[in-house]
Amino acid sequence: MGKPVSIEAHRFIRRMHGASQPILIQADDDQYYVAKFPVNMQGPLVTVNEVLGSEAYRSAGLPVPDWRLVHISDKFLNRNRDCWFRFKGQSLRPCAGVCFGSRFVDAVPGSAPGSVYDLLSDRMYRDVHNRGDFWIAWALDVLLLQCDSRQAVFLQGRTQTWEACFIDFGCTWPNGCTGNEIQRSMACRFFDPKIYPEAKLEMADRIYRALHLIRPDRVEDAFSGLPFGWKLDGALEHYNRILNRMTNPARLEEAAATIVASTFYREKSYLGTLPKHWNRWPQSVSAQVSAT
């Protein structure tokens, strides 16, 4: 994506679900965005995490919404009290300034109205043509230290098939989080494991290759264009921590191997069946497989 593009919030549409209490707005480019305030009810790293997750997913080849920097003015906030935070029966006015705006996922052109769903019946999963992306998304979330269950919306195409588009990257594990890699990985899995297609060796290889498609330079470009205030309160340290994980081959391999260890293989005897270009099975994950 490169340097972030900035737009102005023009019209308040409605509140959205989520701990950070995002809002749906229409901007001066006539597009709709889910906007998250940098100072919010969830924590100071939400907007930075959204940028890091969006750029990592996109460079790995997974579908995610476009994003923009959305300026929300004092005038906008004073005119739209419904977009204020709600806490213990009180309304708290957010700070005006630049917010993270994720393009609102709308219907595919030519499809029927109402053809975007937050959830599908498990009987419809077989019609999601990019189900395999959920395996890659899981490994990416482990790499990015995501601690919320994976969220996606499903877009129905003209041929009665569905495409998953991945959203929401705001919540990550803090430093010093407990549990081993496999235990933490379960926290960021999609809530219904039936969405994942059959685990095959070819998919393990695809996970590994997708992680190596991540473009840290694009992440750096995006982060460098963020407002200075977003980089305070530990955000710069957090960014460096995530960037180091993206650029460290051992971390990439460990993230992929964690998913393989927790799902594809349950016994040490399977370790030898990993793709040949995997130089080694990370010791930390190998020890966890031994304990299962």
Pairing of strands 116-117, 151-156: antiparallel
pLDDT of residue 201: 78
Q: Which two tokens stand for residue 168?
A: 């929401």
- pLDDT exceeds 60 at position 270: no
Alpha-carbon distance of 292 to 282, in angstroms, equals 16
The Cα-based distances of 208 to 62, 211, 258, 283 in angstroms read 14, 6, 11, 17
Q: Which helix (H) or strand (E) holds 241?
A: helix 235-247
Amino acid at 37: F
Which of 57-61, 114-118, 228-232, 253-257 shows the lowest per-residue confidence on average (mean pLDDT)?
114-118
User: Of 116, 137, 119, 255, nearest to 196 (Cα)?
Assistant: 137
pLDDT the model gives residue 193: 92
Q: Model confidence over 159-205: pLDDT tens digits?
A: 789 999 999 999 988 754 556 666 778 889 999 999 999 888 788 88
Q: Show Cβ contacts of residue 88 under 8 Å, excluding neighbours closer than 6 positions.
A: none
Stretch among 11-15, 69-73, 93-97, 200-204 having the lowest mean pLDDT: 200-204
Give residue limits of the domains in the chain.
Answer: 1-104
List CB contacts of 68: < 8 A, sequence separation 6 or more: 4, 5, 6, 7, 27, 33, 101, 103
